[in-house]
Amino acid sequence: MSSTKTSKAPSTLGSAGPLDRELFERSLRLSPGGVHSPVRAFKSVGGTPLFFRSAQGALLTSVNGEEYIDFCQSFGPLMLGHRDPEVSEVVREAIDTAWSFGACEPYSLELAEWITSRVPWVEMLRFVSSGTEAVMSALRVARAATGRSRILKFEGCYHGHADSLLVKAGSGLAGESASSSAGVSENVASETLVASLDDEESVRAVFADRGSEIAAVILEPQPANYGLLLQRREFIEETVNRARQHGALVIFDEVISGFRVAMGGMAEVLDIRPDLVTYGKVIGGGFPVGAYGGRRDLMEMVAPSGPVYQAGTLSANPVGMRAGLATLQKIERVDAFAHLDERTARFCDGLNAAFEQRGLPVYVTRTASLFWLHAKTDKVIRRLEDIPAGHAEQFARIFHAALKRGVYFAPSGYEVSFMSLAHTDGLLERASKDILEAVEEVLPSP
């Protein structure tokens, strides 16, 4: 893959052209905010969003024909990069075979067998079409299994847009919550309790007050939706232990981290066996796939085996099932985790060394193949209140400065970036230079 820029003048990179503006104006008339997922609207960084017409490997191509090095990678599923040739071949064959059955087929069985043979705490699983749907279903199972109604989540963890999880910490009693979205009733919001990340005392207080009412604790063992909030092992272990002591189930939301940080996700890294786990992103190879799974006795409560109802017309779509299996098989065969860890570490360490050398107040936090560019601070950022003031505004300026040099980050200072196997040494060398120049433009060296 070539690492050279396109023939167009670099000055046109990153600028929404007449075609972008026309497309966005048309979109605004038909879709809320002109988009089908809020972050795409550039509201967090300002300006008119660019429209992309194609993608290959680590590159996006805009409708204007400009190429961008892509560190969004569709927000995480594309560990092999866009349209990996081996996966593409499987997808083409799948499309020529069937688009959807609405009936039993062997492809979901093959993917289920592959996952359960490698992740011992997933004894059974059910495929759905999104991470939100997976989380919503896992919570329903937890409530049915325990006969309890309340869920404990953590401020700074995102679990999709189900009503009961669109909540934030309230004021007053331990765990009190409030809706974080219009349209979520107070009654629904009140069933979800909220504790602080990186704060064992907050967890203890909630369980002391409401422990007998809590059906499950749900957490991202590696929070990566409001920045990359690195958690201490001791905090995760204390949270899990408190849940066990009070008869609550433990749900790991690994929609992002599952099959991205390790074969068994953060559960493997931490050596903690959750009762239920949710997946998405990587297991679909770029197609809309999610899953929830875990202990056999819990999953057998799901219809038609048990009384917990959940269904989906397009669940286990055969194209997504085959793309996901091909992706996971290649990840395993080429030892992608080791390669991506080394590649991401080298890239981020190089940037941090350059920032430090030039006295630039920016830092890149990393774990596995995820990384996050943020304002420099003197401590590890583990919860929302640790994020330096002005971070979002600073990132917005860096985002546009990088964009005009041909580097595409997710358009929000609170979204993380992703490395893929398609990010070659040549592309990363160019990206490092461009990012450093972008930061120097926004924050000149002292």
Annotated active-site residue in 68, 158, 226, 292: 158
- Give me the DSSP letters along 18-36: HHHHHHHHHHHHHSGGGSS
Residue 281 bears catalytic tag: yes
Tokens of residue 177, six digits: 């919550």
Q: Please calculate the CA angle 270-272-277 and round it to the nearest 5 degrees.
A: 105
Tokens of residue 393, six digits: 């505004």
User: In this structure, are strands 276-279 and 290-294 parallel, antiparallel, or unpaired?
Assistant: antiparallel
Answer whether 270's CB lies under 8 Å from 246's CB. no
Place of tokens 């903690």: 272
User: In this structure, are strands 370-375 and 362-367 parallel, antiparallel, or unpaired?
Assistant: antiparallel
Annotated active-site residue in 198, 253, 275, 434: 253
* DSSP secondary structure code for residue 42 in this structure: -
Q: How far apart (Å, rounded) are the C-alpha atoms in residues 87 and 105?
A: 20
Three-state SS at 112 = helix
Q: Please calculate the CA angle 423-78-46 and round it to the nearest 5 degrees.
A: 85
Residue 168 bears catalytic tag: no
Residue 153's contacts (CB-CB under 8 Å, 6 or more residues apart) are 159, 165, 167, 192, 193, 194, 195, 217, 218, 219
Tokens of residue 281, six digits: 């992103």
The beta-strand segments (E) located in 282-345 are 290-294
Backbone angles phi, psi at 346, to 5 degrees: -65, -40
Q: How far apart (Å, rounded) are the C-alpha atoms in residues 261 and 341?
A: 8
- Give me the DSSP letters along 354-385: HHHHHT-SEEEEEETTEEEEEE--SS---SGG
Annotated active-site residue in 20, 70, 84, 281: 281
Residue 253 bears catalytic tag: yes
Residues with active-site annotation: 158, 253, 281
